[in-house]
Amino acid sequence: MTAKRIDGKIIAEALRARVAKEVAELAAAHGVVPGLTVVLVGDDPASQVYVRNKGKHTADAGMRSDTIRLPAETDQQTLLATIGRLNADPGVHGILVQLPLPAQLDSLAVIQAIDPDKDVDGLHPVNAGRLAQGLPGFVPCTPLGCMIMLEGEIADFSGLEAVVVGRSNLVGKPIAQLLLAKNCTVTMAHSRTRDLPAVCRRADILVAAVGKAELVRGDWIKPGAVVIDVGINRFPLPDGKSRLIGDVAYAEGVEVARAITPVPGGVGLMTVACLLANTLTAARRRLGLSG
């Protein structure tokens, strides 16, 4: 058996197209254009690329896209004041502070300063609490993308065994909550889990989000499982360049799983598309419309 390749490019393109259509409809019906503002502190090269990418896709979807660039030496008070102004601006529906921040800044305090109803990254503790209690809020973009991919492969989640490897606030914990909401039986595995391969072999749904290159081997995967690989790891090549590989040994996993996401070309492409979807939801909720 060779697994189906879950193509993140195709799924993300379809989601962006749907968002663009609904953005146009919202503007026509209510005169409101969803607005996303990204705050970038410093000149980290990877962050610069991410922010440019977000800006392009936001504009392509017909939304207003703004980027506030602050110098690397920006202090906490200045950054918090910037967020305060964005919270008060009715034309800003979504606020995203690009992480990581320079060392002198307190990332948690910065995230907590964002209005939870504009927190389209889904990282505010209020949104984490809403997710845990099944209330409307914002889900972090990567777990949201994972669920969209899973929903394309699984008709009925009820009673399935799901194993999430990794317990980060950004991916592991939220995806576990989303799977619980789908009536899965969820196990969260991590660096202290005993006999991790045996735990993974129970999974009908296996989500690898631990940040260790090819940690999950083919013989860790239950035959017929659906595997979502969130890992993005740089593997050095002899010529000094590098290639991206996931947390799952893809060549092995594809021989066992029913469906699997590749790296690159999988979950990563969904993140920005889900950011657009969250920003549209924020604008709709601000108008009192269902999200």
SS3 198: helix
**Rounded-to-integer distance, Cα 102 and Cα 90, Å:** 28
The amino acid occupying position 134 is: G
pLDDT bin (cut points 50, 70, 90) of residue 191 is: confident
Span 190-215, average pLDDT: 96
pLDDT bin (cut points 50, 70, 90) of residue 291 is low
- Nearest one of 15, 93, 24, 103 to 57, comparing CA atoms: 15
What is the average pLDDT across 80-91?
Answer: 98
> Which residues are marked as active site?
54, 98, 121
Domain ranges of the chain: 31-116, 141-269
- Tell me whether domains 31-116 and 141-269 share a fold: yes
d(CA 113, CA 20) in angstroms, rounded, equals 29
CA 258 to the chain's CA centroid: 23
Instruction: Tell me which residue has tokens 């980060």.
Output: 168
Q: What is the pLDDT of residue 114?
A: 98
* pLDDT at residue number 103: 94
- As a residue count, the chain comes to 291
d(CA 283, CA 165): 34
**Residue 238, pLDDT above cutoff 90:** no
Confidence (pTM)? 0.94
Question: Which homologous superfamily is 141-269 in?
Answer: NAD(P)-binding Rossmann-like Domain (3.40.50.720)
What percentage of the chain reaches a pLDDT higher than 70?
99
Q: Where are the beta strands (DSSP E) in the chain?
A: 4-5, 35-41, 64-70, 94-97, 161-165, 185-189, 205-208, 226-229, 233-236, 242-245, 259-260
* The CATH number, out of the four listed (1.10.1740.10, 3.80.30.20, 3.40.50.10860, 3.30.70.270), of the domain defined by the range 31-116: 3.40.50.10860
